[in-house]
Amino acid sequence: MADAGVKGHSFLRPGGLVDLDGVIHRMVRFERGPAGMEVVFTVANELVRLTLSEVYQRVRPTTMPQVRVPDRLELPTSWIWHALNEAERQRLERRARDLLELRSGSRRGLAELDRLEGLLDPRYDPTITTLGERVAHKSRELRARGEFPSSESQLYRQLSMFDQDGVLGLVHRNRRIPLGVAELPDDVREVLQEFVAEQPDRPRVDNTVLAALAQARLWDTGFEVSFTADEMARLLGELTRGQALHREAKSRRNRTRDVGRTYGSLTASRPGELVQIDATETTMHPWFPRVGRAKAYILSGIDVYTRMVVACRVVANAPSSRDVAMLLWDMGRPQVTRAGWPYQYQLVRGLPRFVTLTAGSSGLRVTRPAVIGTKLGIRPSFVVMDHGRENESLHLLSAAARNGINLIYCPPAAGWAKGIVESLHRVLDQVQSLFLEAGYKGASVANHPKDNAGEVCLTMGDLHDALWSAFLGVYNNTEHHGLTDPLNPALRATPNQILENYLTVVGEVPVPTDPWRVIDFLSSEPRRLEDYGINLHGLVYQSDELMDLRQFVQPGLGRPGHLMDVRYDRYDLSRVFVQHPVTRQWLSVPVGSGVGRTMAPFGEALLHEAITRDDRARGYTATQRLDALARLSMAWSRGVFADRRQQRQADFEASRREAWAKDLEDSPLEYRSLIGRLDITTTDDDPEADEEYMDLSAYENGWQEGIQ
């Protein structure tokens, strides 16, 4: 690699390429050998050692390849950069490389490559130094070089500007750019003034969005001029003086990137900050395998910022505080798994068991639930709910406090305070109406649909899966009146687009990763560890791991014992959970009445991907949404019985009809005529043989059998 300061010369350095007898070698390092200084090269994945004299004899400097040195620093191409003189551009480039060295440790932004080539300065190595140490050393270095500004505070300020806008950040905001409203061409200034004059009649948008709209207006009118972010912000700041656009107008919807949904003085500024939950009775009565038709409730939680459904549960009878606590835990799950009897992925009574380990002669087999899709997994900060019986419970309050969730109760008879989740009830009713011709929101058995004893109705788990299929496939791709496109406030956005825009700007959404977090949502009782185990509600729980804790929690001579915090599920009496006082790990303790040891819930590996982006550019149109709902209805009306109890009944009936049809093939005509309701006709199409057809469509087979 040729040096810029010495013309016609090449230098041997680690990582450099050298042409030796027509073969390209890459230098690795210098070593001292028996014959003096040696040079180590790598060629074809092999190391070659040559003395300096051999290198000088075999090297071909005239054919040595000139390799372009990679560089992460991108110099601006705008007119502002080229409007500066050469000396000023060189000074700003040197300062930009100093700042790049502060941030990455390398003056070209490639610290690892510099370390490989032996060029990395250990004083700026980010693996062994902190940013404060690098800034302090750079400040002393700049003062020694006579370059200003060189104070640490000014370096931090310039580093922030450099991170925000690159090299142009050093040009902006620290000098007067020869561009203002007076310097603008008349036609460009008129277009921007017309754009600003339209804004008082429109809802306020974010400043960055307003700048993007102004730039788009210039392009739409045919002006191929592009302003930087700082230039456009400065121009709009001058043009909007006296327009009061910096104020938020009353009764106007906030159309910034942070979708404004307020409850009192709270405004949702990120996903998971504000969640509304509510319970509503189903408009249809699901079919329970053990009791037949019964009343059910749908617990749902919706994120105010994105309008995405983050939790949904279908519970039997009236919901309890345990169901609401499990609903809060569902908000953190990034995947939606299949539910329903007989799978029992989410039990009617009991915690969900997501992983089943089966040990046999063939080895250990792990069975995981089927995944319906991915959803938004969040850590809710504020949860808004009403004063329902299931919400006013010490169990729910303690579970929320342990997980850092603030509960906000709406005033009595003020359903509008959680109007977003109330509007979701119309979506729930619409999904349920896809499966029944008529439904009734009530407990009267006389209002049940008149069908074949409920065989064609959905079970509670089927309804859960159908609702999530509608949320993920239709609801998240439907434009909402309260959501707007940040770049075009006149267009409505979908929940997927709002989430995608947030991930694009912010980058991530915190997702709970602790697999034992579900334990914090269970009921808690202080109990003593006796010699025989833990006595809870008349049941004794015991295990080998539990009995090993007696040396830590049982009383001794002159020392009192310690109570253990026992977590349990009121609907699942087969196990309780206690925390080890030393390792702080949770132990699953089975009941001592012969029930086998159970695995901890949510014990599979952590998920690799929490949220998947949607590829659609815009939301569903009315026709597309209608088609999607029609496809959903057809899929669940025809395929919902797969692997379910009703499917087994249908298969049995189909096999019986098929066997009967085969018996009819060999039966005489007299026997067929005695069956009745068979339309037997004779055709004379073939003069050599007469064919008799009998119509079996009345038996729902939909085909005709030709009989000779």
More confident residue, 631 or 287: 287
Residue 7: pLDDT over 60: no
Q: Please state the rounded mean pLDDT for residues 27-52.
A: 79
pLDDT in the model for residue 310: 92
Q: Please state the rounded mean pLDDT for residues 98-119.
A: 83
Cα 480 from chain centroid? Answer: 20
How far, in Å, are 86, 205, 212 from residue 169 at the CA level?
A: 18, 24, 19
H/E element, 50: strand 46-51
pLDDT in the model for residue 302: 92
d(CA 288, CA 646): 11
What angle is formed at CA 224 by the lines to CA 223 and CA 226, rounded to 5 degrees? Answer: 110
* Region for residue 44 given its phi and psi (left: phi exceeds 0; alpha: psi -120 to 50; beta: otherwise): left
More confident residue, 188 or 449: 188
For CA atoms 151, 152, 158, 159, give the dihedral sign.
Answer: positive
d(CA 631, CA 629): 5
Q: Please state the rounded mean pLDDT for residues 127-145.
A: 91
Encode pLDDT of 194-231 as tens digits. Answer: 888 887 766 566 576 677 777 777 877 878 777 777 77
The secondary structure of residue 540, as a DSSP letter, is E
β pairing state of 691-695 and 356-360: unpaired
d(CA 421, CA 405): 18
Q: Please state the rounded mean pLDDT for residues 285-295.
A: 67
Beta-carbon-side half-sphere exposure of residue 257 (alpha carbons within 13 Å): 16
Report the candidate in 277, 287, 386, 290 with the shortest Cα–Cα distance to residue 327. 277
**What percent of the chain is predicted at pLDDT more than 90?**
7
Mean pLDDT across the chain: 71
d(CA 525, CA 567): 7
Amino acid 552 reads F
Report the candidate in 512, 481, 515, 486 with the shortest Cα–Cα distance to residue 499. 486
pLDDT in the model for residue 135: 93
Rg (CA), the chain: 37
Q: Which of 271-275, 342-346, 384-388, 450-454 has the lowest mean pLDDT?
A: 342-346
> Are the beta carbons of 202 and 195 closer than 8 angstroms?
no
Verify cis geometry, omega within 30 degrees of 0, for the bond prior to 412: no
**Cross-sheet strand order for the sheet of 36-43:** 17-20, 23-33, 36-43, 46-51
Encode pLDDT of 511-569 as tens digits. Answer: 776 667 788 888 888 888 888 888 888 888 888 888 888 888 887 777 787 888 888 88
pLDDT in the model for residue 394: 85
> Are the beta carbons of 278 and 422 closer than 8 angstroms?
yes
Residue 297: pLDDT over 60: yes
SS3 at position 413: coil
Cβ-proximal residues to 658 (8 Å cutoff; 6+ apart), any chain: none
The secondary structure of residue 183, as a DSSP letter, is T
Q: Which of 119-128, 160-169, 450-459, 685-694 has the lowest mean pLDDT?
A: 685-694
Q: Residue length, the chain? A: 708
Question: Judging by beta carbons within 10 Å of its beta carbon (0-12, 13-18, 19+), is residue 262 exposed, middle or buried?
Answer: exposed
Most distant CA atoms of the chain, gap in Å = 116
For residues 421, 426, 431 and 432, what is the CA-based torsion angle, rounded to 10 degrees? Answer: 100
Residue written as token pair 């105010």:
304
Residue 681: pLDDT over 90: no
Beta-carbon neighbour count of residue 560 at 10 Å? 8
**pTM of model > 0.85:** no
Encode pLDDT of 641-669 as tens digits. Answer: 445 555 556 655 666 677 677 667 667 77
pLDDT in the model for residue 143: 92
The secondary structure of residue 335, as a DSSP letter, is E
Helices within 268-375 (DSSP H only):
321-330
Encode pLDDT of 76-88 as tens digits. Answer: 777 677 778 888 8
d(CA 265, CA 670): 84
Report the candidate in 483, 306, 268 with the shortest Cα–Cα distance to residue 382. 268
Report the candidate in 512, 513, 493, 510 with the shortest Cα–Cα distance to residue 614. 493
Structure tokens at 412: 């009595």
Label residue 623 by pLDDT band (50, 70, 90): very low
